[in-house]
Structure 1
């Protein structure tokens, strides 16, 4: 390539890595040769040669949640494997229901010391504004599991939650034993994943199963005791309650309430995320189906996307598409 362009190897290196000290005419000539030869830069090799390290911050909810714990476990596993690729991770726990605390945690991060940030937090005006400020510093931002579509984030890694909600409604309609009421519960409807799931769920229930009445969403706000008490109260006071759709955290508490009410045999239950409690619920027949997404794929995809954004490379979309998985007792992995 250097011979073709009529320059030294050092000049080629400076042009390919965007370093100063090369005349515009020479840069143009080198780039023309690069394009003509079909050269593809090996970013991993270049980073290794430069001893480059990627440092990413990952913000996760601090509330106890089996799904969040599975994300943390996947991060630990990915971190061990990514060390060879010189990736350093900084995991920051934040109170998901406090947007001001989330903003304070983001402001405490030094953009100059990072190569990218991934966020698993609810969208709010405060968070959107802070993401905009982060983007102004030139730092890539990725939404993890729950999207921030109204912010200037660069990418979302996660399932299509509207489709997940529609899938839940289709399963619910098929599993229901009789007409009646359906209880919908989640940690907070402010979380984008829960909001989108509810929209998808309502659309299918109204169009395909109009004889069932879907009740307003019950929120637990990071309070497991509240989730169990509210679900138990609804089961006791509503004899026409025939289904429960759990859109987020709190599945163990839903199961506890079902057992206390002795109505598990007559209520269809659809939940999200395959965790030890939901696996046990499937095996016992208390849960009809789990809509799952692979936590390992979520984490690996997030790290790949952050690296691509940091290097200014295109994202390989098919690889980062997270599948919606339907798990029943008969196909438990």
Structure 2
């Protein structure tokens, strides 16, 4: 019996594709790299041979041969938020490490919760300069349209930390924020020993989908499992510690039974300062977001009771992998890109990690 290519244990090569399709190696190379000058019928024949052989292209080797460099842009909110600062530091660190993989990372800042400026930045992205962008910003119709337009130019798009599901983004990189809110509700409900008190929820902005999703998950669990608590309307702190410090006294003066706080956003410096000044730092249950130097100190001192967090290194690595895979139209591992929800108490905090 004649042995066919399909019987071989070796991986099929471009030579096999050329032989099965009945074309030259140069033609196979043009099809694989989407270069012009090949008839539609020939392209179809080459693609049929690829499917028949089960050929999987080594994009890393191909990019090295072509001396391709991936240029990826991270659009971050302009804020003093410690989490964003840590994310930016991680991007810079990863950029140095990824230089050997022919990948360059850069960042640009848009004013926090300012969709118009975010749209302006997205609109200026040049497909000749960038292969992909990661967007960390609010979800509005104008942002949705800007994401669609930049994708139509051939730029890969992922949403980072806060999803943009109504846009045509390729992937979302971040924790499941609804599940994060549910987790916070379980922690506060159990830590507060079912006292029939009031729970304050601090949010950054009602434009931020991650904050809205966290509130949705929080309310769902509180209503179903801890109905004796009164959950107050969200306090919008705009991730600004000074603004939060100004707003909190009136909230506590009006509501005398606050026994728990879910801080789903940043600006925790103002919250910590207020609780300490009022002597409430050991009396009110507080669950916050993101393990930063500030929240670490608050957790150690007992001002915070728990922190829900996501790993900035994983966020950046996942965004890079997904943007490169999208740019190459290559497969990816969904399990590897799933961002885990971490829960920290003062007893299980990991050592502070220095980014070099």
TM-score between both structures, scaled by the size of structure 2: 0.89
Deviation of the 1:44 alpha carbon: 0.5
* Pairing 1:216–2:216 present: no
Compared CA separation, residues 25 and 101, structure 1 to 2 (3 A): closer
Q: Give the SS at the match of 1:317.
A: coil
In 1, distance between residues paired with 2:267 and 2:135? 21
CA contact (8 A) 2:198 2:230 kept: yes
**Partner in structure 2 of residue 11 of structure 1:** 27
Q: Which moved more, 1:243-252 or 1:227-236?
A: 227-236
CA contact (8 A) 1:235 1:263 kept: no
**Partner in structure 2 of residue 52 of structure 1:** 68
**Partner in structure 2 of residue 230 of structure 1:** 247
Matches within 5 A, 1:74-153: 74-153=90-169
In 1, distance between residues paired with 2:265 and 2:323? 26
**Partner in structure 1 of residue 196 of structure 2:** 179
Deviation of the 1:32 alpha carbon: 4.0
**Partner in structure 2 of residue 290 of structure 1:** 307
| Cα RMSD for the two superposed structures | 1.7
CA displacement 1:84-140 (0-9 Å, x = unmatched): 111122311001222111112222222332111110001112211211222222222
Deviation of the 1:319 alpha carbon: 0.8
CA contact (8 A) 2:288 2:308 kept: yes
- Which runs of no fewer than 5 residues in structure 2 stay unpaired? 1-15, 351-356
Deviation of the 1:286 alpha carbon: 1.2
In 1, distance between residues paired with 2:105 and 2:250? 43
Q: Give the SS at the match of 1:72.
A: helix
CA contact (8 A) 2:204 2:265 kept: yes
CA contact (8 A) 1:232 1:258 kept: no
CA contact (8 A) 2:182 2:218 kept: yes
Task: Name the structure with the higher helix share.
Answer: 1
In 1, distance between residues paired with 2:223 and 2:50? 57
**Partner in structure 2 of residue 272 of structure 1:** 289
Compared CA separation, residues 187 and 25, structure 1 to 2 (3 A): closer
CA displacement 1:47-89 (0-9 Å, x = unmatched): 0100111112211000110110111011011111111111122
- Figure out how many residues of one structure are paired with residues of the other and give that number: 333
Q: Give the SS at the match of 1:61.
A: strand
Q: Give the SS at the match of 2:108.
A: strand
Q: Give the SS at the match of 1:290.
A: strand
* Pairing 1:207–2:228 present: no
**Partner in structure 1 of residue 354 of structure 2:** none
Q: Which moved more, 1:300-309 or 1:110-119?
A: 110-119
Q: Which moved more, 1:220-229 or 1:198-207?
A: 220-229
CA displacement 1:203-230 (0-9 Å, x = unmatched): 1001111111111111122432111222
In 2, distance between residues paired with 1:61 and 1:280? 24
Deviation of the 1:146 alpha carbon: 0.2
- Which runs of no fewer than 5 residues in structure 1 stay unpaired? none
CA contact (8 A) 1:229 1:257 kept: no
